[in-house]
Structure 1
Amino acid sequence: MESHVVLTSAHWVYLCGVVSIITTLVFRANVVAPAILATFATVFAFSGQVSTAIEAVFFAPLTAARELFNIFLVISLMTALLNALKRINADVRMVQPFRAVMVNGHVGFFVLGFVSYVLSLFFWPTPAVPLIAGILLPAAIYAGVPPLGAALCIGIAGLGTALSSDYVIKVAPGISAKAAAVAMPDVADKALLLSLITGGIAFLIAYLRIRKQIQAPDARHLERWEATQVTANAVVTPAAGTSRARIRRGKPQHASVGDGGQVSGASGSRALLLSSRDLLTPWQERWSRCFAIVIPVAFLAIVVYMVLPHLIPGFKGASGAAAAALVGGVSALLMVAVAAARDYRAMCRSTAEHVTEGLVFSFRAMSSVLPIAGFFFIGVAGTAAPILGLPAGTHAPGLLADLVKAGEVYIPHNAFFVSYGILLAGMVTGIDGSGFAGLPLTGALAGALGRTVGFDVSTLAAIGQMGSVWTGKTLTAWSALAAVASFARVPVLQAVRYLLLPVVSGLVVSTLVAILIW
């Protein structure tokens, strides 16, 4: 395939910006400032106008906010529901049944990974992650899985392993196969094996890195986790003694406040979280037990609703963005119901408080991601126009795709270099955070280079798919990983740094396996 791309000064400035941000990430520094400066420099190089470049510093995060607000909203509504459940202690009751399975943090880590993989394989991570966060994530934290470990687990199993193969819905292998002009089942089958190899290696490395942080099951883990506030770069925890929640050993019945403000009551082996405002009336206790059952059943019903199209021909169901909206809507309605059950007279006030707390939490966790995402959106043709100051309807250049196409001619024409060249091309196109946007390019490169060197084209297309999706979904802070990190209450940039070694190691090994066996 011949390259007809002409690289301009804007391409080179954009490339320098990408390198500077990646370098800053490697050195564990905040990348917001480099992203803002790179946005200004790139747009100035493209337009030659200072005013347009200054405006781009505003329009870039605004464009990112439009693209990512669905993630903000789902995080907000799920957080609001969790806060409402905390007020009637239903969050602790809800996770109790999972103790039979998650007997400790080590088992909890693998159970969380397995469920994340299965749900994401069938429904994609967008609707699956909130379901996991609503039920299994608190149970895993209770069992002793550290929040960072939970984020790595869901990211690798759900966003990476499941989505990179997309073996059930088959959107990703369909795009790759069409661009490479090969049969879709050939790409899908190879992508499945490569995704399992990559995911298995990444999962093992991540587990080995966090295993020493795994602790024995204790309700205090859940208390500390629920009290945690995060930003994209840091964790903010309340000072000792400032948390409203206390630990009480024993069953919740007949609770009373004893001398010194300590909670006393019937003895028992289970640990539950209570606070001074959580000493519930018998009526509230009944609702607490009710919602501990209703919440999992409601989310299970959503799962069933999304599965039915695979079982009943013609059944519409919900998938993708519609499924995520369904999860968010159910969360909002349940939050109102829980608020009414606690105190129907204060329902309006408490509902507004929970929604506000959820929005504040999501913006605190993700707001600094917007300038970073805005810079990378300059390189994507579909989102670059408003940032570059182009009129509506004007076709914007794809700076990122152009750079990859221009670099294709420098890949040596033998199977080894072509395979890793396609992998690198996929990883570069994946940094826009989509994961799927680069598949037409990697598929086309696979078709051209594979036939030139006599290497299996479907294998190269699968390798490119691995690089694009894994990078887009697990190594970029402005992708669905931001939602995973927010639900787990860990800084998203910290999650990216911890995922870098496991994911890259898995991709390198799986590509080598593909070269050897195909």
Structure 2
Amino acid sequence: MVGITSTHIVYLISIIVIFIFMLLRKDIIFLCILGILAVAMSQTKNILKSVEILYTAIFVSGKELWQVILIISLIIAMSRALDDIGADVVITKPFLRFLNTPSKSFWIIGLMMMLLSFFLWPSPAVGLIGAVLIGPVLKSGFDELSFASLVTIFGFGSALSGDFFIQGVPSVTAKTLGIPTSKLILSSLPVWGVTSLATIIIFYFVTMKKLKNKKNNDKADNNVGKKKIYKESYIISIVSVIFFAVDTFLMYVLKIRGNAATALIGGSAVIILLASSIVQKDFLNKVREYLKSGFLSGIRTFAPIILISAFFFLGELTTAKQVIGPEAKGYLMDLGLYLSKHIPLNKYTVALMQLLVGVLTGLSGSGFSGLPLVGALSKTFAHTLNINSSLLASLGEITCIWVGGGTIIPWSVVPVTAIIKVDPDSIVKRNLFPVIIGLICGYIVTVLLL
């Protein structure tokens, strides 16, 4: 049985205080820093060591997030280069006739984001969608917040919680559960389908209500007429689309996944950036300015996220050991496991436990951190109650991803906010109700099928 120490209690109290301040719409960076110091003091009983841990926590957090910061910065730099030569107008023009109403834009962009996320994963997909289609979407009557929420729901929620093609998510859960990945995927289909469908339908009506009285984005139309379009812009526009289309094809055919897929997108962004700069005057300085602007935007977006994540990364065993040392615990994981040992077991409570563990571990902002735990718990519960372990694990897995993968935790939606300039808290507020209803529906169907 997991032993809950005073440090676990300190970490839990810190989380409660942080979430109270979040509900009050107050900034939480100061509290996260205090939380790191409090956990470090409780664990080490050494002031000097605790100060060192504070720095190490921020360093490890930055290191964990660096690749995301890098790809986002490069995409921003490329987007601004394309924008300056009018290539964005050329690229988006063919989509205008299809993306002419908010309702059409909702389903076209949503399904496109889902499809790309199935094959690329959401972070590279949002870079492609955001860089190429934000113009037509805004002209159709969408606003930036609705667009940002849309790609999180379809990509970081629905597509990633299924992950039927890359299979990174179900393979982690299946490994700890001790069953083939294909069996887990098959079992997850009804829970995934009901959760995704309920969330998307509710989100659709919420979004349409918000946009009901919104006029088309006249500002975007005015800018189009004022932009200078170089004759080379048409060639660069075609090449840019071909580049990313070929990237997508190669990722699927050659099974390029994860970090390698991100690297391919990032490298392509740099090449397109160079091509967009060469056609302009003083292109050597232009390249420097675009990259500087992109990285400044990336760092400006991620600076607070690095500090917030530094605290929540302490909840995951691997990163906690990197920060505090070998004596560290996975504080969030341990609290979830402890809770599971103190609740009466039946199909209703074990399904609820999977839901709560998924929510709790998702608070770290990483949907993956709780997958081994929900797999292990499902195996234990299924053995005790003689119920379907893969179905039970599916609920926990889907909850982990919907909560921590990038829909309702502010520090997990930064890949979207860096591309689409929207406050993360606003995205979370828009997503919260549909996602909660979707997860409740997932819980109900799990209980009915167990």
Q: TM-score range by the shorter chain?
A: over 0.9
Greater mean deviation of Cα atoms: 188-197 or 403-412: 188-197
1:339-358 residue pairs with structure 2 within 5 A?
Answer: 339-343=277-281, 346-358=282-294
User: Normalization by structure 2: what TM-score?
Assistant: 0.94
* Paired position in structure 1 for 2:258: 320
Q: For 2:418 and 2:218, how far apart are their aligned partners in 1?
A: 21
**Once the two structures are superposed, what CA deviation does each residue of 1:260-285 show, in whole Å capped at 9, x if it has no partner?**
xxxxxxxxxxxx242xxx445xxx2x
Alpha-carbon distance change, 305 to 68 in structure 1, aligned in 2, over 3 angstroms: same
**Once the two structures are superposed, what CA deviation does each residue of 1:170-219 show, in whole Å capped at 9, x if it has no partner?**
23222222322334333212323322322222223333333244345445
Alpha-carbon distance change, 366 to 426 in structure 1, aligned in 2, over 3 angstroms: same
Report whether the alignment pairs 1:189 with 2:125.
no
User: Could you say which structure has the larger radius of gyration?
Assistant: 1
* Paired position in structure 2 for 1:20: 17
Report whether the alignment pairs 1:308 with 2:253.
yes
| Residue number among 94, 101, 104 corresponding to 2:98 in the alignment | 101
**Secondary structure in 1 aligned to 2:410?**
coil
Alpha-carbon distance change, 461 to 198 in structure 1, aligned in 2, over 3 angstroms: same
* Paired position in structure 1 for 2:321: 385
- Contact 1:80-1:355 at 8 Å conserved across structures: yes
| Residue number among 178, 195, 200 corresponding to 2:197 in the alignment | 200
Greater mean deviation of Cα atoms: 191-200 or 95-104: 191-200
1:429-508 residue pairs with structure 2 within 5 A?
Answer: 429-473=361-405, 474-479=407-412, 481-508=413-440
Shift of 1:384: 1.6
Q: For 2:302 and 2:208, how far apart are their aligned partners in 1?
A: 27
- Contact 2:78-2:269 at 8 Å conserved across structures: yes
* Paired position in structure 1 for 2:128: 131
**Secondary structure in 2 aligned to 1:437?**
coil
Shift of 1:150: 1.1
Shift of 1:68: 0.5
| Residue number among 352, 358, 361 corresponding to 1:420 in the alignment | 352
User: How many residues matched?
Assistant: 447
Q: For 2:302 and 2:376, how far apart are their aligned partners in 1?
A: 34
1:260-299 residue pairs with structure 2 within 5 A?
Answer: 272-274=224-226, 278-279=227-228, 284=230, 286-299=231-244
Kindly provide the amino acid, as one letter, of the partner of residue 304 in structure 1.
F
* Paired position in structure 1 for 2:158: 161
Alpha-carbon distance change, 191 to 29 in structure 1, aligned in 2, over 3 angstroms: farther
Shift of 1:290: 2.0
Report whether the alignment pairs 1:337 with 2:269.
no
Kindly provide the amino acid, as one letter, of the partner of residue 417 in structure 2.
A
**Secondary structure in 1 aligned to 2:165?**
coil
> Structure 1 stretches of 5 or more lacking a match?
224-246, 249-271, 310-316
Report whether the alignment pairs 1:375 with 2:297.
no
State the superposition RMSD in angstroms: 1.9
Kindly provide the amino acid, as one letter, of the partner of residue 111 in structure 1.
I
* Paired position in structure 1 for 2:342: 410
Shift of 1:303: 0.8
Q: For 2:140 and 2:245, how far apart are their aligned partners in 1?
A: 22
**Secondary structure in 2 aligned to 1:144?**
coil
User: Normalization by structure 1: what TM-score?
Assistant: 0.82
Kindly provide the amino acid, as one letter, of the partner of residue 388 in structure 2.
D
Q: For 1:144 and 1:371, how far apart are their aligned partners in 2?
A: 36
1:164-179 residue pairs with structure 2 within 5 A?
Answer: 164-179=161-176
- Percent identity between matched residues is 29
Q: For 1:366 and 1:175, how far apart are their aligned partners in 2?
A: 28
- Contact 2:100-2:139 at 8 Å conserved across structures: no
Kindly provide the amino acid, as one letter, of the partner of residue 130 in structure 1.
G
Q: For 1:195 and 1:152, how far apart are their aligned partners in 2?
A: 19
Report whether the alignment pairs 1:57 with 2:54.
yes
**Once the two structures are superposed, what CA deviation does each residue of 1:129-161 show, in whole Å capped at 9, x if it has no partner?**
212222233332232221111111111111111
1:216-255 residue pairs with structure 2 within 5 A?
Answer: 216-218=215-217, 220=219, 222=220, 247=222
**Once the two structures are superposed, what CA deviation does each residue of 1:408-444 show, in whole Å capped at 9, x if it has no partner?**
1122211111101111112211222221221111111
Q: For 1:273 and 1:352, how far apart are their aligned partners in 2?
A: 27
Which structure dedicates a bigger proportion of its chain to helix? 2
Greater mean deviation of Cα atoms: 19-28 or 31-40: 19-28
> Structure 2 stretches of 5 or more lacking a match?
none
Shift of 1:291: 2.2
**Once the two structures are superposed, what CA deviation does each residue of 1:37-83 show, in whole Å capped at 9, x if it has no partner?**
11111111111112222233322222111100111111111111111
Q: For 2:139 and 2:58, how far apart are their aligned partners in 1?
A: 36
**Secondary structure in 2 aligned to 1:410?**
coil
**Once the two structures are superposed, what CA deviation does each residue of 1:451-490 show, in whole Å capped at 9, x if it has no partner?**
21232111111011011111111233333x2111221110
- Contact 1:109-1:153 at 8 Å conserved across structures: yes
Kindly provide the amino acid, as one letter, of the partner of residue 301 in structure 2.
A
**Once the two structures are superposed, what CA deviation does each residue of 1:321-359 show, in whole Å capped at 9, x if it has no partner?**
11111111111111111111122xx11111111111111
Kindly provide the amino acid, as one letter, of the partner of residue 40 in structure 1.
L
Kindly provide the amino acid, as one letter, of the partner of residue 365 in structure 2.
G
Alpha-carbon distance change, 190 to 150 in structure 1, aligned in 2, over 3 angstroms: farther
**Secondary structure in 1 aligned to 2:341?**
helix
